[in-house]
Amino acid sequence: MAKVKLSGIRKSFGQSEVIKGIDLEIPAGSFCAFVGPSGCGKSTLLRMIAGLEDITHGSLEIGGQEMIDVAPAKRGVAMVFQSYALYPHMTVAENVTFGLRMANHPKRDTEQRCLEAARMLKLEELLDRKPSQLSGGQRQRVAIGRAIVRNPDVFLFDEPLSNLDAALRVEMRAEITRLHAKLDATMLYVTHDQVEAMTMADMIVVLDKGMIEQVGSPLGLYHEPNTLFVARFIGSPRMNTFSVNLCDAGDGNVSCMLPGGSSIQLDGSSLRTGKATFGIRPEHLDVVADGHLQGKAVLCERLGSETMLHVDIGLADPITVKADGLTNVTEGDAVGLKLNPKACHLFGPDDRRVRSGSLQ
Amino acid sequence: MFPTPIERTQPRTRFAYKVFLPIALILWLLPLLGVALTSVKPAADLDSGNYFGAPSRIAIENYWLVFKNSNIGYYFWNSIKVTVPSVLVSIGLSLLAGFALATYSFRSNLIIFFMIVAGNYVPYQILAIPVRDLPININLYDTTLGLALTHIAFQTGFCTLFMRNFIKALPNALIESARVEGVSEWRIFCYIVVPLVRPAIAALSVLIFTFVWNEYFWATIMSQSVDVRPVTAGINELSGEWKARWELISAASILTAAPPVLMFFLMQKHFIAGLALGATKG
């Protein structure tokens, strides 16, 4: 268990800078997820922590020690790759113990650790098989086992579940969470799947274009996104956003002109007048006969437990509404939408939050 | 199904297939058949002008006589002494060079690689004079070592091109994962890269063995003495010794051609696996 501290980390590939100054402190024992769209630099960041990529500028500390010039093997990290990276010509046991054997680790202890990891990951029966004889989930578990036997201070996961099918992914998610509790190690986890980040991590780092957009707990990011990017990135289906005009309504309130002509009064906005971006999550819109917004349902996706209504309110894109699973709205129906004022987010012209819709 | 089985094609196509396939086969195999036939003819047949007809009897003793009446036994041994080290060293060197070119990014990586590729396109005949002069100057002319070094120099470039691309096709994560585990580069090379490119090594060994064994140009230029001359050049000498005894020359030729063919059939499985593996990225 060790804490990881990044300060002023930058990375350039030739002319183009992909990581543009990252300051981050990950407490020991936490499960930290890096999320962001493809190309945001999250994998590069992880590979820099692993030592597979040089750090162009800045400092990296693991467990209080500067690691910039330290070889990957000496950083006390173990990495699990997206492609599993199992050696195809070795059995599961040989794969798991390869690093230890190459380091001339005592034989007895190597076997011990291999068996322990196998027990933890339910791989005991498979130790003599070759990777080609394993299923995707089993391969992933071997890859994790290979990391466990090294007893690292920090685990690095690079999109480990993205090659698995949906059901297995849910299972492995729970398994990795359980491992984290049992091993008590710091885990850094890169994913583009926000569900993985939300369910597993206790700390999420949202990255975009090589910079940190926001760091926080899963629910913190969900309820109080600092920027429009985070608001749109976290939550599925994503938050509805459209631009509105604000005018001061006195008593600390602002009045937002909504599409369709009606307006809503909101408190606590730091921006009083002018253009802003209005954001509301699909679950905070209620279908009513006469609401703040009027529109026409253009698509109903019935998922059983809920129905996703795509409602055209005269904007370029329809907005999404999460309605009851048994709603009788059908495509083509006129619907009214009521907004919960406590759930309305406002973002200023610089896309930063001016009002939080945290339901408080 | 592709290609369409011949039984399901139009009658015209089937007819053309049945006529031209045997013709093509015979044309292709004719020289070899001719040599094989001559090699079992008694000397009397050739003396009496029976060049193209059937042998009057199968004179299998030609294969003994060629050993008895010439130095071909030495020449065979010389060929082995040149070919085996050439194969081992050029494959060993190209594995190392290929590994470096495929896995390390250093500034001159691509330049070196392109130079190696380009080197393969230089017609080696134009290098005959300098390549002959160099061993003369360093006292390696007409030695097995000199000939082997020449072959190694000329084959390693092609092998490196082949190996570099093969190693490049291995998933990079395998090497990175070993690095994070603290495995040294040399051990990564020995325990991960070499076992995984075994099909390529097998395929390349057969190819290089065939190239070097069958090589005639450098064999004639770089060797003179009986202790050095490989069998390909040695046969040439036979034609001077027995102008009329074509049956012995043919027998020697068949014997010379045998080792690469044998090697190919022994390694055939690996050879084909290797070609496929390279193409599909495993």
Amino acid symbol at B50: N
In this structure, the answer to whether residues A269 and A334 fall within a common structural domain is yes
- CA angle A250/A256/A258 to nearest 5° reads 155
Q: Which residues of A touch B196 (CB under 8 A)?
A: 87-89
In a domain, A196, yes or no: yes
Is the previous residue joined to B5 through a cis bond, with omega within 30 degrees of 0? no
Question: Which pLDDT score, from 0 to 100, does residue A261 have?
Answer: 84
List the structure tokens of A8: 């002023």
Q: What's the whole-model pTM score?
A: 0.81
Give the Cα separation of B210 and A260 in Å (integer): 82
Question: Which pLDDT score, from 0 to 100, does residue B243 have?
Answer: 61
In this structure, the answer to whether residues A247 and A195 fall within a common structural domain is no
In a domain, A356, yes or no: no
Pick from A157, A147, A156: which is nearest to A97 by CA? A147
Question: Which pLDDT score, from 0 to 100, does residue B276 have?
Answer: 46
In a domain, A358, yes or no: no
Give the Cα separation of A255 and A294 in Å (integer): 18
Select from A232, A248, A281 the last residue of a domain.
A232
Yes or no: say if A7 and A23 are a contact pair by the CB < 8 Å rule: yes
Chain B residue with CA closest to A49: the answer is B180
Best of A47, A102, A153, A188 to mutate (most B CBs within 10 Å, chain B): A102
A73 touches chain B (CB under 8 A): yes
Tell which A residues from 146 to 205 touch B, by Cβ distance under 8 Å.
Answer: 146, 150
Determine the distance in angstroms separating the CA of B94 from the nearest CA of chain A, rounded to an integer.
22
Residues B180, A98: C-beta atoms closer than 8 Å: no
In a domain, A35, yes or no: yes
Q: What is the ipTM of this complex?
A: 0.80
Select from A170, A202, A232 the last residue of a domain.
A232
Length of chain A: 360
Q: Which residues of B touch A72 (CB under 8 A)?
A: 179-180, 182
In this structure, the answer to whether residues A248 and A222 fall within a common structural domain is no
Pick from B197, B116, B180: which is nearest to A67 by CA? B180
In a domain, A359, yes or no: no
Pick from A171, A86, A169, A206: which is nearest to A134 by CA? A86
Q: Which of B180, B192, B196 sits opposite A79 (nearest CB)?
A: B180
In this structure, the answer to whether residues A9 and A135 fall within a common structural domain is yes
Whichever domain contains A189, its CATH number is 3.40.50.300
Yes or no: say if A330 and A336 are a contact pair by the CB < 8 Å rule: no
Q: Which residues of A touch B179 (CB under 8 A)?
A: 51-52, 72-73
Residues B196, A103: C-beta atoms closer than 8 Å: no
Q: Could you tell me which residues are beta bridge partners of residue A22?
A: A9
Three-state SS for B48? coil
Determine the distance in angstroms separating the CA of B193 from the nearest CA of chain A, rounded to an integer.
10
In this structure, the answer to whether residues A8 and A106 fall within a common structural domain is yes
List the structure tokens of B221: 């230029």
In a domain, A17, yes or no: yes
Determine the distance in angstroms separating the CA of A144 from the nearest CA of chain B, rounded to an integer.
12
In this structure, the answer to whether residues A301 and A172 fall within a common structural domain is no
For A191, what's the count of Cα atoms within 13 Å in the CB-facing half-sphere?
A: 25
Three-state SS for A5? strand
Pick from A337, A283, A281, A333: which is nearest to A306 by CA? A283
Q: Tally helices (H) and strands (E) across chain A.
A: 8, 21
Number of domains in chain A: 2
Tens digits of per-residue pLDDT, A157-207? 999 988 888 888 888 899 899 999 988 889 999 998 888 999 999 999 999
List the structure tokens of A42: 């999250």
Q: Give the pairing of strands A186-191 and A154-158.
A: parallel
In a domain, A116, yes or no: yes
In this structure, the answer to whether residues A120 and A259 fall within a common structural domain is no
CATH class of the domain at B65-280: mainly alpha
Cβ of B65: how many Cβ atoms within 10 Å? 15
Terminus-to-terminus CA distance in chain A, angstroms? 36
Select from A232, A265, A280 the last residue of a domain.
A232
In this structure, the answer to whether residues A204 and A245 fall within a common structural domain is no
In this structure, the answer to whether residues A223 and A309 fall within a common structural domain is no
In a domain, A197, yes or no: yes
Question: Which pLDDT score, from 0 to 100, does residue A84 have?
Answer: 87
Question: Which pLDDT score, from 0 to 100, does residue B254 have?
Answer: 92
In this structure, the answer to whether residues A11 and A143 fall within a common structural domain is yes
Question: Which pLDDT score, from 0 to 100, does residue B151 have?
Answer: 95
Yes or no: say if A285 and A337 are a contact pair by the CB < 8 Å rule: yes
In this structure, the answer to whether residues A152 and A276 fall within a common structural domain is no
Residues A102, B180: C-beta atoms closer than 8 Å: no
Question: Which pLDDT score, from 0 to 100, does residue A359 have?
Answer: 82
Pick from A224, A194, A205: which is nearest to A26 by CA? A205
Amino acid symbol at A163: N
List the structure tokens of B200: 């390529």
Segments of chain A scoring below 70 in pLDDT: none
A131 touches chain B (CB under 8 A): no
Yes or no: say if B208 and B91 are a contact pair by the CB < 8 Å rule: yes
Three-state SS for A67? coil
The residue ranges of every structural domain in chain B are 6-63, 65-280
Give the Cα separation of A50 and A36 in Å (integer): 19
Yes or no: say if B164 and B190 are a contact pair by the CB < 8 Å rule: no
Segments of chain B scoring below 50 in pLDDT: 275-282
Q: Which residues of B touch A74 (CB under 8 A)?
A: 182
Q: Which residues of B touch A114 (CB under 8 A)?
A: none
Pick from A54, A56, A121, A61: which is nearest to A92 by CA? A121
Three-state SS for B265? helix
Stated as kind and residue range, the H or E segment containing A160 is none
In this structure, the answer to whether residues A141 and A54 fall within a common structural domain is yes
Determine the distance in angstroms separating the CA of B280 from the nearest CA of chain A, rounded to an integer.
16
Cβ of A146: how many Cβ atoms within 10 Å? 29
Question: Which pLDDT score, from 0 to 100, does residue B242 have?
Answer: 53
Cβ of A88: how many Cβ atoms within 10 Å? 15
Q: Which of A50, A88, A89 sits opposite B180 (nearest CB)?
A: A50
Full residue range of the structural domain in which residue A65 is found? 4-232
Determine the distance in angstroms separating the CA of B195 from the nearest CA of chain A, rounded to an integer.
7
Whichever domain contains A313, its CATH number is 2.40.50.140
Question: Which pLDDT score, from 0 to 100, does residue B272 have?
Answer: 61
